[in-house]
Amino acid sequence: MAIHVKRAFKYRFYPSDAQAAELSRTFGCVRKVYNMALAARTEAWARQERVNYNQTSALLTAWKKTEELAYLGEVSSVPLQQALRHLQIAFSNFFAKRAKYPRFKSRKKSRRSAEYTTSAFRFRDGRLTLAKMSEPLDIRWSRPMPEGAKPSTVTVSHDAAGRWFVSLLVEDPAVQPLPANGTAIGIDVGLSHLVTLSTGEKVANPRHERRDRARLARAQRQVSRKATGSANRAKARVKAARVHARIADRRRDMLHKLTTRLVRENQTLVIEDLTVRGMVRNRSLARAISDAAWADFRSMLEYKAAWYGREVIAVDRFFPSSKLCSHCGALAERMPLNVRAWTCDGCGTTHDRDVNAAKNLLAVGLTASVCGAGVRPQRESSRTGRSATKQKTPRREP
């Protein structure tokens, strides 16, 4: 069965001075319009009134006619309208209780980006020209796009490390469901090993942040020594951001390769429903958990499984996967975090803690899938009143 998947292809580009200035103005106007529209909707919300996208679009037209905000008309109107649409989506998610109330964009901390639709760019013969620009962008085509692809939207961004990126959203016909192979696997995530599979395979945790920790600390010290607001401090901040970008790029590349392999090789993938947001509140583990990027790992697994016709099953976080014997089903009374291997009192089987957990996740996930029962947990346990955090808190790694 043919499916239609929209896929973003991201490339780095090098703008001319004029293009960089135009894009910087556009970023500033996008942020200004978003914040003003959010303020207008917040004031209306306080009066128990609702303001929708069409009303904010009319406000934008009125703002452009004022002397104070006339500069909004000097940039392409499409990114400004897209900012209002993004705000509408943010409010829709808030009203549906999928997200918190929208926040104002900060000039220093918020992502600098602008989105263009088909009416605001021209893409011909591999050359992309944005509205208000006479020359195409100097893009480094690091990987080929689908043949004959026509972008529906183009997003331009500028990160803290000073790099410029363009993301083109196209329909990728190469993304099609893979032949079913009937293979299922349980996946247990951790810190000493990034993932442990029910087959016994363990994937080492590269610890990307730890490898560059000394370099990052040195760059951050240089920032702290510079005078606030000075040009030297700005340069030092860029150097520190480049170290962060290097870490994030390596981590993302590794996760993409791992998740792609797991999805291609297995029809069913069973994972544990971890509350990473709650787990990082533990200060002694927050840095290691963030570096492992468990949430990104799960997100990649889920959307790639949807692409290729695979299934991801999330098991209740309160399921005692580490304490349950995968051979006889006996439940150990205690399982301290420093115990990495243990012997079952019931059958005498010796288990590797992580491999045993992966096997148990696979078993309970397949059982729930066959029975048709949901395995995603409730936010709170009604009987115990415990918060929705994982019982098996990972041990601190040296």
Tokens of 310: 């695979």
- Write out pLDDT tens, residues 166-193: 999 999 988 889 999 989 999 999 988 9
Q: Look at residue 236 in the predicted model and tell me its pLDDT.
A: 96
Neighbouring C-beta atoms of residue 252, cutoff 10 Å = 14
Q: What is the per-residue DSSP string for 60-84? A: HHHHHTSSTTGGGGGS-HHHHHHHH
CA dist list (Å): 107 to 19, 37, 91, 245, 324: 20, 16, 21, 19, 51
pLDDT at 287 over 80: yes
**Single-letter amino acid code for the residue at 316:** D
Q: For residues 317 and 299, what is the distance between their CA atoms, to the nearest angstrom?
A: 17
pLDDT at 372 over 60: no
- Write out pLDDT tens, residues 349-370: 888 889 999 999 999 988 866 5
Tokens of 180: 């079913």
Q: Which helix (H) or strand (E) holds 46?
A: helix 17-46
- 22, 209, 272, 291: which one is catalytic? 272
Tokens of 319: 């399921």
CA dist list (Å): 134 to 46, 137, 379: 45, 10, 53
- Taking Cα atoms as reference points, which of 294, 259, 256, 258 lies closest to residue 275? 294
Residue 212: active-site member: no
Q: Look at residue 342 in the predicted model and tell me its pLDDT.
A: 79
Q: Look at residue 369 in the predicted model and tell me its pLDDT.
A: 62
Q: Are 15 and 172 in contact (CB under 8 A)?
A: no
Q: What is the per-residue DSSP string for 234-276? A: HHHHHHHHHHHHHHHHHHHHHHHHHHHHHHHH-SEEEEE---H
pLDDT at 164 over 80: yes
pLDDT at 375 over 90: no
Q: What global pTM score does this model have? A: 0.84
- Quick one: what percent of the chain has pLDDT higher than 70? 91
- Write out pLDDT tens, residues 76-117: 999 999 999 999 999 999 999 999 999 999 988 888 999 999
- 22, 188, 209, 291: which one is catalytic? 188
pLDDT band at 385 (very low <50, low <70, confident <90, very high): very low
Show Cβ contacts of residue 16 under 8 Å, excluding neighbours closer than 6 positions.
135, 138
**Single-letter amino acid code for the residue at 305:** A
Q: Are 76 and 120 in contact (CB under 8 A)?
A: yes
**Residue-range domain boundaries for the chain:** 6-171, 177-206+252-376
- Write out pLDDT tens, residues 16-61: 999 999 999 999 999 999 999 999 999 998 998 889 999 999 999 9
**Single-letter amino acid code for the residue at 171:** E
pLDDT band at 243 (very low <50, low <70, confident <90, very high): very high
Q: Look at residue 391 in the predicted model and tell me its pLDDT.
A: 40
Residue 188: active-site member: yes
Q: Are 128 and 154 in contact (CB under 8 A)?
A: yes
Q: Look at residue 352 in the predicted model and tell me its pLDDT.
A: 86
- Taking Cα atoms as reference points, which of 51, 82, 52, 76 lies closest to residue 64? 76
**Single-letter amino acid code for the residue at 353:** R
- Quick one: what percent of the chain has pLDDT higher than 90? 68
Show Cβ contacts of residue 210 under 8 Å, excluding neighbours closer than 6 positions.
291
Q: Look at residue 389 in the predicted model and tell me its pLDDT.
A: 36
Q: Look at residue 294 in the predicted model and tell me its pLDDT.
A: 92
Q: Look at residue 398 in the predicted model and tell me its pLDDT.
A: 35
Question: Angle 294-308/283-292 helices, nearest 10 degrees?
Answer: 30
- Write out pLDDT tens, residues 306-347: 999 999 999 988 888 888 888 888 888 887 777 888 788 888
Q: For residues 6 and 298, what is the distance between their CA atoms, to the nearest angstrom?
A: 20
Choosing among 3.40.1350, 3.10.450, 2.60.40, 3.30.420, the CATH entry for 177-206+252-376 is: 3.30.420
Q: Look at residue 383 in the predicted model and tell me its pLDDT.
A: 34
